[in-house]
Structure 1
Amino acid sequence: MEQLWALPEDGWLSVREVLERLTDRDLAYTTVMTVLDRLAKKHLVSRERVGRAWRYRAASGRDELTAEVLQSSLDPLEPGDRKAALLHFLDNASAEDLDVLRAGLAEVERKQSR
Structure 2
Amino acid sequence: MARLGDLERAVLDCLWQADEPQTVREVHEALAGRQLAYTTVMTTLQRLARKGLVAQDSQARAHRFSAEATREEMFTELMTDALGIAGDEHEAMLRFVDVISPEARAALAEGLGQQKKNKR
- Fold shared by both chains (TM-score > 0.5): yes
Q: Quick check: which one's helix share is greater?
A: 2
1:70 equivalent in structure 2: 79
CA contact under 8 A between 2:28 and 2:41: conserved in structure 1? yes
Of the three residues 30, 37, 40, the one matched with 1:28 is 37
2:58 equivalent in structure 1: 49
**Residue 103 in 1 paired to residue 114 in 2?**
no
- Identify unmatched segments of 5+ residues in structure 2: 1-11
- Paired with 1:95 and 1:21, the residues of 2 have a C-alpha distance of 32
Q: TM-score, structure 1 length as denominator?
A: 0.84
- Paired with 1:53 and 1:6, the residues of 2 have a C-alpha distance of 20
- Paired with 2:14 and 2:99, the residues of 1 have a C-alpha distance of 30
Q: CA RMSD in A?
A: 1.6
- Paired with 2:101 and 2:21, the residues of 1 have a C-alpha distance of 36
Compare 95-104 and 48-57 and name the one that shifted more.
48-57
Count how many residue pairs are aligned between Structure 1 and Structure 2: 109
Q: TM-score, structure 2 length as denominator?
A: 0.81
Of the three residues 81, 93, 97, the one matched with 1:90 is 97
**Which of 1 and 2 has greater Rg?**
1
- Paired with 1:3 and 1:34, the residues of 2 have a C-alpha distance of 15
- Structure 1 stretches (4+) deviating beyond 4 angstroms? none
- Paired with 1:5 and 1:13, the residues of 2 have a C-alpha distance of 10
- Identify unmatched segments of 5+ residues in structure 1: none
CA contact under 8 A between 2:54 and 2:68: conserved in structure 1? yes
Q: Which amino acid aligns with 1:3?
A: C
Write out aligned runs for 1:6-25 (5 A): 6-8=17-19, 11-25=20-34
- Paired with 2:60 and 2:101, the residues of 1 have a C-alpha distance of 49
